[in-house]
Every structure is written in structure tokens, then in C-alpha cells.
Amino acid sequence: MHDGSAQFRSVLDKVGEGKWEGAELPVLEPVVHPVVRTHPETGAKVLFVNPGFTSHIVELDRPESDALLGFLYAHSVRPEFVVRYHWTEGDLGFWDNRATQHSVVGDFGDQHRVIQRVTIKGDAPALTN
């Protein structure tokens, strides 16, 4: 279950609602996504879970779901899977959320962090075989 309500609650509380393709969105509804998806361009099988959005695996009872997700979250941040980018002024970053996760380390001290985010509408995550 992919649920962004906790991540974006403060934003929605401030603005009241958002828009997606011209439609008003007063809340973010949870959506079932596969745990492993097939990337539509590369054909690679990729994990499609993260602790910020994946609330549980619907086919499992909660203890099993929590245990499996804990394992997958820990697996996804193993050193061999992590890239640490060191930003400099004027840098622009792109990543593909269909196959990558990102996280802020928060080591920018008293510097002001400015982000302009653009999200491109993609495909619906397909179940993998």
C-alpha cells in the first residue's frame, strides 16, 4: 500500500488541496502498488517500497508485512546500492523514482536549502512476473 498522506499532510493542511491534471485533490488516497515492479524502459525488476510511503503489504498480515518491509528497507540502503552526491551551488539533479530512492542527509548546517521539484507523470506500476 502506497500512502503519501503522512508525508504531505502538512502541505495539504497549508494549501487545503492540490491539483492533478486540473482536478482538485483535497486528500491523497492510498494506492496499491507492487513490491517489485518492472521498469517500463529498462525491463529491470526493481524494489518499489520505501519507508516514507509504503505503509504495508496488503497480502500479508501486519507482523509479516512489517518484518519483510524492514528487511527490504535495510537492504535498499546497503553501501553497494547508495550514491552520495555532494552538491555545489548551481547543481541540478535528476533521478528516476521508478528505480531510485532519495534521502536528505541534513548536513547543510546553517545554509538555506532551496528545492524546486517537478514530478513528471509516469506509468502505473505494473506487477512483475
Q: Would you state the pLDDT for residue 72?
A: 95
**Residue positions counted in the chain:** 129
- Cell 518491509: give the residue: 69
pLDDT reported for residue 127:
63
Query: Minimal CA–CA distance to 54: which of 28, 75, 76, 32?
Result: 32
Report pLDDT for 25. 66
Q: State the average pLDDT for the chain.
A: 82
Mean pLDDT of 90-116: 80
Least confident piece of the model among 50-54, 61-65, 74-78, 105-109: 105-109
- Residue 23 pLDDT: 74
CB proximity list for 61: less than 8 A, separation 6 or greater: none
Residues 61-72, mean pLDDT to the nearest whole number: 97
pTM of the model: 0.75
Report pLDDT for 128: 57
Please give the residue that has the higher pLDDT: either 8 or 11. 8
Using DSSP, how many helices (H) and how many strands (E) does the chain show? 2, 4
In the prediction, which pLDDT does 111 show? Answer: 79
Q: What percent of the chain has pLDDT over 90?
A: 26
Within 9-117, strands assigned E span: 18-20, 23-25, 36-38, 45-47
